[in-house]
Amino acid sequence: MASSYDYDEPSYDNRSYPPSSQVSDVAYDPNFVPDSVKTFVVHLYRHIREKNVYEIHQMYEGSFQRLSERMFRENPWPSVEAVAPYVDNDHVFCLLYREMWFRHVYARLSPTGRQRIESWDNYCSLFGVVLHGVVNMQLPNQWLWDMVDEFVYQFQSYCQYRAKLKNKTEEELQLLRQYDQAWNVYGVLNYLQALVEKSMIHQILEREKEGLEQFTATDGYDYEGGSNVLKMLGYYSMIGLLRVHCLLGDYRTGLKCLAPIDISQQGVYTIVIGSHISTIYHYGFANMMLRRYVEAIREFNKILLYILKYKQYHQKSPQYDQILKKNEQMYALLAICLSLCPQTKLVEENVSTQLKDKYSEKMLKMQRYDDEAYAVYDELFSYACPKFITPSAPVLEEPLTNYNQDAYRLQLKLFLYEVKQQQLLAGVRSFLKLYSTISIGKLATYMEVDEPTLRTILMTYKHKMHAVDSDGKIIPNADVDFYIDEDIIHVVESKSAKRYGDYFLRQILKFEEMISELDRVKLD
């Protein structure tokens, strides 16, 4: 890796450089461009012009982070006006530079109201250029994903910022009034939608299925001299739309936006780990809210296993903290799903062990139906849910109130309502497990309810344990199933279906791996 950016390696050596505290002692001048930044932009600009994706990626993921870490911990990067002369005043490069500039401000400093609005303007210009097809760059997927992801993040962040009206200064309020189109929800959605449409990504994925086009095989890159920018922004915008709709509480529409991507398989969305995690986190969450627990459990299990295996390779990545956070959140969501629908067989051993370490006590509590159980559902949901937003414009009249929690409270309330409707199901499930047949009367006595009530509980169980998919098809989710013949409940033992086939497959692969490893040892 090091050899690829030898040109600025000397100045990258942390040990020979003054510690950052000394740097920030110097009065900050936004127009001063240190030599290392000069080198950085000049090289990045050159690599972009030469479509050298590999080098761009190294500089984007490596150099930019390192320079930020070393020189811009407490201050923003030099202004775009100051660096423009070093890159021929290239319009598109300047837009890209500013996009990174703002991203850095959001990540390390706290953006002012004006900066938030300027960042919105910059996205408008950048997407405008991309949408009007004058871009012929080839950028790394990581960067393109980050753009979409950051765009949605800044939108969400703006909605939160805007909703905290109480402590706003007069100047900030003035800005909100003046720039009411900044981060407007229609604008955000329409940009993402326009990227999806203009990129023809739906058609590309369709044509790929018929073997008429390559997309997944080239990781979305264009090796015939074209640009991957619009295409990949369109692709990632589908995931961006899923996320925005989840933030709005519109789970069905979110899933619909993602539908062109087949998440049952590896695909372009899995190349960048941030994109992979964001996709599955939101997909799983939306399915949980739609009561499709089995689907949510299955996907959470897969991604958690993936993270468990591969997180070590991302330790140095700037996304590492984010990976760990989403990892924890998804364990919480998995705990919720399994408490409502104990399909533990769907969870792989290693994931299951992790889950037990983290949540076995809480999951035990969630099986009960008292206030403490609710408190745990409440706690886990609040910890793991997306940062819901209120998309409408603020009412800027006295008295100013904060409404940044409203959206979250509504989703939480409705979720807990669902939990309440299912509160007796854990009890009935534990009895059903003990019998192959039992009369309604007897079970009613055990559960201390009357017979008609028990019948409603049993029907609720059936209703809640059957999800409806987007085509209206009924999907069974129950781990323990039964049917009633007049007054007798017949419990259907869920056969412990050992997945021999899968097991053998994995063992064959493992064995093969070991053999080839042994072969290598001999050669040494």
Partner 1 sequence: MVRERESQQQQVSYTVEQLVAVNPYNPDILTDLENYVNEQVSSQTYSLDANLCLLRLYQFEPERMSIPIVVRILIKALMAMPAPDFNLCLFLIPEQVQMEEQFKTLIVLSHYLETARFRQFWDEAGKNRSVLEVVPGFEQAIQAYAIHVLSLTYQKVPRPVLAEAINIEGLSLDKFLEYQVANSGWALEKGHGRSQLIVLPRNEYNHPELKKNTVDSIPFEHVTRIFPILS
226 belongs to the binding site for partner 1 (CB under 8 A): no
83 vs 297, which CB is nearer to partner 1? 297
Q: In the window 365-394, what residues touch partner 1 (CB under 8 A)? A: 391-392
- With 0-12 / 13-18 / 19 or more C-beta atoms within 10 angstroms meaning exposed / middle / buried, residue 253 is middle
Closest approach of partner 1 to the CB of residue 65, in Å: 35
Considering only 66-74, 75-83, 273-281, 457-465, which stretch makes contact with partner 1 by CB under 8 A? 457-465
Closest approach of partner 1 to the CB of residue 261, in Å: 16
256 belongs to the binding site for partner 1 (CB under 8 A): yes
481 belongs to the binding site for partner 1 (CB under 8 A): yes
Distance CA 75, CA 78 (A): 9
Q: Which tokens belong to 331?
A: 């364990």
Task: State the number of CA atoms in the 13 A half-sphere of 458 facing the CB.
Answer: 26
Considering only 17-25, 78-86, 285-293, 379-387, which stretch makes contact with partner 1 by CB under 8 A? 285-293
Distance CA 155, CA 196 (A): 18
Candidates 136, 463, 510, 514; binder of partner 1 (CB under 8 A) is: 463
309 belongs to the binding site for partner 1 (CB under 8 A): no
Distances (CA, A) of 83 to 34, 35, 55, 86: 10, 11, 20, 6
44 vs 258, which CB is nearer to partner 1? 258
Q: Which tokens belong to 299?
A: 């996907």
459 belongs to the binding site for partner 1 (CB under 8 A): yes
Distance CA 164, CA 478 (A): 43
Furthest-apart CA atoms within the chain: distance in Å: 85
Residues 6+ positions from 292 with CB-CB distance below 8 Å: 467, 469, 475, 477
Q: Which tokens belong to 55?
A: 């080098």
492 belongs to the binding site for partner 1 (CB under 8 A): yes
Candidates 65, 253, 270, 322; binder of partner 1 (CB under 8 A) is: 253
Closest approach of partner 1 to the CB of residue 91, in Å: 28
Distance CA 412, CA 285 (A): 13
Candidates 290, 305, 308, 426; binder of partner 1 (CB under 8 A) is: 290
185 belongs to the binding site for partner 1 (CB under 8 A): yes
Closest to 440 in 3D by CA, of 426, 428, 454 = 454
The footprint of partner 1 (CB under 8 A) covers 185-186, 189-190, 193, 248-253, 256, 265, 289-291, 391-392, 406, 409-411, 413-414, 417-418, 421, 452, 455-460, 462-464, 466, 468, 471-474, 476, 481, 483-487, 492, 495, 497-502, 505, 508-509, 512
